[in-house]
Structure 1
Amino acid sequence: MNVFLWIVAGVLAAFFLAAGANKLSQSRRKLLANPNMQWVEDFSPGTLKLIGTAEVLGALGLILPGALDIAPILVPLAALGLAVIMVGAIITHTRRKETRVLPINVVVLILAVLLAVFRFGPNSF
């Protein structure tokens, strides 16, 4: 089970690191050019940078504390934080009637919650 949880953490970390780096490195206008990022219209540039920063820090929090054995309680906390971000994404996409991306958001939410539950409980570090 531990190997499975590390794989889930790695997949989630890669997903959120890419998503967060994308939001941090590109301008709002460039993000809007992507047809899957039309939700950006609803948020200010500062909020987009905040979301991107939270995603990058969450991605690092999924891997580094467990790998370095320094404050490993941060792993499930990072997973919970990323789950909250995904709930916000689901709400935003639902409100905008962007149902095409909802399955991805739901799968990522389920993986983040699964990781948090097992790292808090039976498979903690």
Structure 2
Amino acid sequence: MHRCTLSKEKLAAQPGGEWTHSVSAGFLKTLGCLELLSVVGLILPAVLDIAPVMVPVTAVCWVLLLTGAMITRGRLGQVKLVAGDAAYFAIAVFVAYGRFVIEPFSS
């Protein structure tokens, strides 16, 4: 299940879910839906050839989201989860840099 569909209580019970106690259920649903939309934004524009520039733009947004996640997890002492977020962060930087600089989609 994803954050967009899980209740706040179920998210809080998962490993690393301690941070959910300090935010509203609406914030959690919004965050989860934004994560799902980011997956769509990373894949569909290039596949459908509709506004492919949205791929690196979405990757930059994902970098910003993961920066916040790493800061939050770091403050909570969740070092293993920070490492996982750092891996996704590196992939998002790779996609953004690769599609903006190395091999941009042709207009």
Normalized against structure 2, the TM-score is what? 0.92
1:122 maps onto 2:102 in alignment: yes
Partner of residue 21, structure 2: 41
Partner of residue 73, structure 1: 53
The structural deviation recorded for 1:42 is 2.2
1:106 maps onto 2:66 in alignment: no
Partner of residue 63, structure 1: 43
Q: Equivalent residue of 1:25, what SS?
A: coil
Normalized against structure 1, the TM-score is what? 0.80
Number of residue equivalences: 105
Root mean square deviation of aligned Cα: 1.1
1:53 maps onto 2:30 in alignment: no
Of 67-76 and 96-105, the range deviating more from structure 2: 96-105
Superposed CA offset, 1:11-39 (max 9, x none): xxxxxxxxxx6111110011111122222
Structure 1, unaligned runs of 5 or more: 1-20
- Structure 1 stretches of at least 4 aligned residues deviating more than 2 Å after TM superposition: none
